Structure 1
Amino acid sequence: MTKTTVKKSRAERLRNLFIRGLINLLLALPYRWRVPLCGWVMAYIIGPIAGYDKRVRDNLALVMPDLPQAEVKRLMREVPRNVGRTLIEIYSGKEFIARATAEPLQGEGLAALDEAHAAGRPVILVTGHFGNYDASRAALIARGYNVGALYRPMGDPDFNAHYVKAISRIGTPVFPRGRAGLADMVRFLRGGGMLGLLMDQKISSGQPLSFMGQPAMTALSAADLALKYNALVVPTYAVRRGLDFDIIIEPPIPHSTPTEMTQALNDSLEKLVRQHMDQWFWIHRRWK
């Protein structure tokens, strides 16, 4: 083992210990204080250290170069704030689920989900890193749907272990992206399950499709799975409203080609991002 590997492992352990300690401290507080406080910590302490504010600024400069600087500065704080709120909400278990299920589901796609559920037809639920992406999963599970989730394993195994435990409290099954979870995921889908996945991160093996007016490497996996297993593809979102959410179920994406279907998913998310700029995770390296 090299010195670099040792240092990296030590740094990862320290980072994990800090995050676990912060989460445990926040979980001791009432929910109504815990969520905004974690947002503040991410916006004003962790975010600047991690370079999130710079990444938000750079991404906005790429896709919206004419955005007023006052709005850019606002988003440099509000975007990490939403990330922090999302993180502690996911770790809050039943309290978060209660908030996610407090309001009735909305949208033209709800009838199609009910029909697919009754017929045992597979469904691909597609969302993005927007609002709190796990709120829609919690709300759909509460409606009686069998909803699984595909997640990308974290680089730090220690952090990944407690993160998976947290998302599993919201609902199971959860499947790791890659070979490890592929067989179980396909079996679940073929059995008529509803599979939730996020599709708004850069995938080197994806296709350069348009998102926010720029080419963005995008995975075609949602469309590929839908065409292979005759599954509905339904965009779902949780729009943050204070401590609560508006859960939106959009109409299914018509089956066509994987590229056309995936571009329609990008367009769906882009429309919502433009309406709620501070709720999308601009901290990701979405574009080249």
Structure 2
Amino acid sequence: MKQIGPAIKRIRENKGLTQVKIYDGVMSRTNYARFEDGQIDSSATNLMEMLKRLNLLMTEFANLYDGDTDTVIAVQQQALSLVNQGMTEQRPEPFLKAAALMATQYEDSHYIADHHTQLTLQIYADYMANDGHVVQAAPLLQQLLTYLEKNETWYSYEVSLLNNLMPMMTPDQLLVYLRIYMQRVSKLTQVDPGVASVGEVLVQAFEVAINNRDFEIYQSLLALFDAQHLQERLLFPHLFRQAFDAFAAYTQDQNAAALQGKIDPLLMLVSTLQIPVNGAQLRQDIARLQAWLAPNVKFCDPAD
């Protein structure tokens, strides 16, 4: 079994930090010395705290961890391929195969992110098997949500985990944990450029409201979204917010011409942008909102 302690020691020494900076309040001096020597392992909670004190992202630690890098990358690529297959085919079986791969990797690495990935994939499998609802895997989902709730300081890892779990939350869970996120996002001490922005997280949250056709949740999310100052460099959260606002306004005034006057230019703009993934998602969300909230309103989509 590979030990993580020697990797932590190497990183600590490279950063010029003393042992006490890492173990104080986490474990005893004696146990920490044994941990760095590879004699004992550490709990997942303690490891997370040590990484924070090392000012190290989980993704960075994965790259620096002295394991069989080629094997780890191969397993991750295989798991990702299975996830893509599961998403495309909307079947649980590929997710279960990917979860089994990550479970084996976790037994070897004792890396908390591997375990969380395994649980997330199991939850997705249950979600797919039950027509968009988490049933048997509900305790696993709650386990990961409790992990998020207990972390007073969020890093890029916690934001990524939340973003992955949101589509599978109930509307009530979504609002609870999204508000926790909004409280803690301003305290982020590490921001990975690859991690979703506030606007992108809020866009993802609307999937729950749309999937459940829950207009009360939709309105609550829109209030949060409209209150946010979005980063100017990120175009698509602005476009999604315009679409969400337009459909909310239509439910009040039933003005089809006004709705068309807002949505048609968005569809025209999306057709000219060379960002296919975001554009496809926006087009899909508009179609789903149309079917739910404005079935009698027709739009002009250049892609049709």
TM-score w.r.t. the length of structure 2 is 0.25
Tell me which of the two structures has the higher relative contact order, counting C-alpha pairs closer than 8 angstroms and 6 or more residues apart.
Answer: 1
Q: TM-score under structure 1 normalisation? A: 0.26
- Between structures 1 and 2, the one with greater helix share: 2
